[in-house]
Chain A
Amino acid sequence: MNFLEIITGPKEGNVADPRIAKIRKNLNNLGVFFLVAIIWITLSIASPHFGTQSNITNVMRQSSLWSIIAIGQTVVLITAGIDLSIGSVVGLASCIVAIMLNKGYPISVSIIVTCLSGLGVGAIHAFGITKGKLPPFIMTLAGLTTWFGVALLLTGAMPIGNLPADFKAFSRGSVIGIPNLFWCVIGVMIPTYIILNHTRLGNHLYAVGSNRSGAELNAVPVTRTIFFAYMYSSLLASIVGILVAARLSLGIASNGFTWELQAVASSVIGGTSLFGAVGGVFGPVLGATILSTINNGANLLNFHPYWQRILTGVIIVAVVFFDQLKNRTK
């Protein structure tokens, strides 16, 4: 095995050794993992509170919500699309579940109806993109404002509180020391991993993102595949909306405000390509962990909140720049 090839990739014109290609792929994920480790070690040294169990649990809770929507965003990005409506769908879902619980519907019914509404939102986006031939950016940008408006209309721009204790308890609980919210991330990661890597649908998602017209010529059901991607993304956003409502004890339209950007940032930091066909399940979770760690660390170190946003922007640019530099070199 040529160790130089592991670092630099195959020489021009040569086909990569499959074993080396596999190692390189894992190294890409490891790179983000090491970045997380470096940030955690640095913050542990800089702040004695960072490494405490309560703070780590807090970081895990924060990153869990972004991880789930980032996984949904990744599925869409793999098809060479984008879902800018995620934040508004989170807010809308938190309002729907809160309204239903306030009206006395059982928790299970409220959750199922909220998830179904999320699937409906995704189907509308996919319909506009596949049948209306609208660019995903435009369709989901319209979704961003539309669903925020719908949530404001449903709630009269007021927060909906007074949620049942059983509903709130889940998001605050933990099992074997791991927050329930993080178990939710694992619950989303496993099926998504199987779908992306071991099913026909997953193969079609990558094929559509890689060469949509080529996929069509090869009888790939492109429309059905795109419907799945947007419905899955909106479903995960709805689940996060339910979890946010449970965690904050209220449904409000501004829940999830600008989280679509966190989802894109987490996904891109985790190695997903904005041009489609590149991405997986672990990257967005690591990306979300980096972003929530930066927020947490900045708070502990008394950084002004404005600097957190600037720092996040710098990291996104740096990660994507080095990724592109690596590809250009290859």
Chain B
Amino acid sequence: MSEILNLSKIYKSFGAVQALIDFNVSIKEGEIVGLMGDNGAGKSTLLKVVAGNFLPTSGNINFTGNDVVFNNPNDARKSGIEVVYQDLALCEHLTAAKNIYLSRELKKYGFLLDHKKMNNGSQEILDQLNSSARPDDLVAGMSGGQRQAIAIARTRLSEPKIVLMDEPTAAVSVAQVPVILKYIRNLQKQNIAVLLISHRLPDIMEVCDRIVVMRLGEKVCDKKKIDCTPEELTGLITGAIKSA
């Protein structure tokens, strides 16, 4: 497996607050890496740096062998990075189809939206995800699981090389957790890498190949899953264990 993403010496600060400090990590093709840490550890900031939402204060991002600078989410998307955000970034007043295709709308005659094509495409993806959400429904009336499906469905519009997922199982019902974990494993089968941020230790232990732990903006652990124990990970997250 070749390396797909390499972050080296990434720093990110917001005024006096150091959100990321000398952060280094590499992810290979088809690898599932779990990213854990307490609130404020810098996980979501890291995700947004990779997704093009934030420029790093300093450091280098190498993606598929090239040094890259993502000035906006579109740059990252075009390179093959798809994201499922923690708050899902859905627009409640839009339909499921319009949310799925947001900023990648399908057009006909050069400028008119192709509603039919977007609805059909959305239905196909939602069926693959076993979601009961319908393309014509407004997101405002949907359950947590249906919303999560819409956010995940966005990642199916392109052929990504890596999918970044921020707490994808946090807001769904117990019954839907296995569906999402199965989806993550399916991505791996297609040789797509996944960076999975989660507070749920069982999810991380079930699907990840490697686990990275962050504390106060720094990496304190980067080990294969088989070398980790839940007790050690909990200690690293809380600070009871300084590093591993």
A and B together in one complex: yes
Q: Which residues of A contact B (CB under 8 A)?
A: 10, 13-16, 18, 21, 194, 198-200, 202-204, 206-207, 209-211, 213-221, 276-278
Interface residues of B in 196-242 (CB under 8 A from A): none
Cβ of B77 < 8 Å from any Cβ of A? yes
Asked if A18 contacts B134 (CB within 8 A), the reply is yes
Which B residues lie within 8 Å of A15 (CB)?
Answer: 132-134, 137, 141-142, 146
- How many residues does chain B have at the interface if contact means C-beta atoms less than 8 Å apart? 36
Partner of A210, one of B53, B83, B92, B146: B92
Given A15-B141, A218-B102, A219-B103; A211-B89 close (CB under 8 Å): yes
Cβ of B98 < 8 Å from any Cβ of A? yes
Partner of B91, one of A18, A21, A215, A221: A215
Given A16-B138, A200-B105; A214-B87 close (CB under 8 Å): yes
CB distance from A81 to the nearest CB of B (A): 15
Which A residues lie within 8 Å of B111 (CB)?
Answer: 199-200
- Contact pattern, B 141-184, Cβ under 8 Å of A = 1, otherwise 0: 11100100000001000000000000000000000000000000
CA separation between A15 and B132, bound complex, in Å? 10
- Given A199-B113, A214-B85, 19 further pairs, Cβ under 8 A: A10-B141, A13-B143, A15-B137, A199-B112, A200-B113, A204-B103, A206-B91, A206-B94, A207-B102, A210-B93, A211-B92, A214-B90, A215-B91, A215-B102, A216-B73, A217-B51, A220-B103, A221-B103, A277-B91
CA separation between A199 and B111, bound complex, in Å? 6
Partner of A214, one of B89, B113, B142, B143: B89
CA separation between A221 and B105, bound complex, in Å? 13
Residue among A21, A218, A220, A277 with the highest chain B CB neighbour number at 10 A: A218
Given A15-B141, A210-B94; A217-B73 close (CB under 8 Å): yes
Asked if B113 contacts A206 (CB within 8 A), the reply is no
Cβ of B107 < 8 Å from any Cβ of A? yes
CA separation between A16 and B96, bound complex, in Å? 13
Residue among B51, B74, B136, B154 with the highest chain A CB neighbour number at 10 A: B136
User: Could you list 8 examples of A-B contacts with CB < 8 Å?
Assistant: A13-B143, A14-B141, A16-B141, A214-B87, A214-B90, A215-B103, A217-B89, A278-B93
Cβ of B39 < 8 Å from any Cβ of A? no
Interchain pairs with CB closer than 8 A, number: 92
CA separation between A199 and B132, bound complex, in Å? 27
Asked if A211 contacts B91 (CB within 8 A), the reply is yes
Majority secondary structure of chain B interface residues (helix, strand, loop or mixed): loop
CB distance from A127 to the nearest CB of B (A): 19
Going nearest first, the 8 A-B pairs with the smallest beta carbon separation are: A214-B89, A277-B93, A210-B91, A18-B136, A219-B74, A210-B93, A217-B89, A219-B73
Asked if B92 contacts A18 (CB within 8 A), the reply is no
> Smallest CB-CB separation from B88: which chain A residue?
A214
CB distance from B88 to the nearest CB of A (A): 8
Asked if A214 contacts B91 (CB within 8 A), the reply is yes
CA separation between A80 and B69, bound complex, in Å? 32
CA separation between A21 and B93, bound complex, in Å? 13
CB distance from A135 to the nearest CB of B (A): 21
Cβ of B13 < 8 Å from any Cβ of A? no
CA separation between A13 and B143, bound complex, in Å? 7
> Smallest CB-CB separation from A273: which chain B residue?
B93
Cβ of B120 < 8 Å from any Cβ of A? no
Which A residues lie within 8 Å of B102 (CB)?
Answer: 203, 207, 215, 218, 220
Which A residues lie within 8 Å of B136 (CB)?
Answer: 18, 21
Which B residues lie within 8 Å of A221 (CB)?
Answer: 103
Asked if B113 contacts A209 (CB within 8 A), the reply is no
CB distance from A19 to the nearest CB of B (A): 9
Given A218-B103, A219-B73, A220-B102; A203-B89 close (CB under 8 Å): no
> Smallest CB-CB separation from A212: which chain B residue?
B91
Which A residues lie within 8 Å of B73 (CB)?
Answer: 216-219
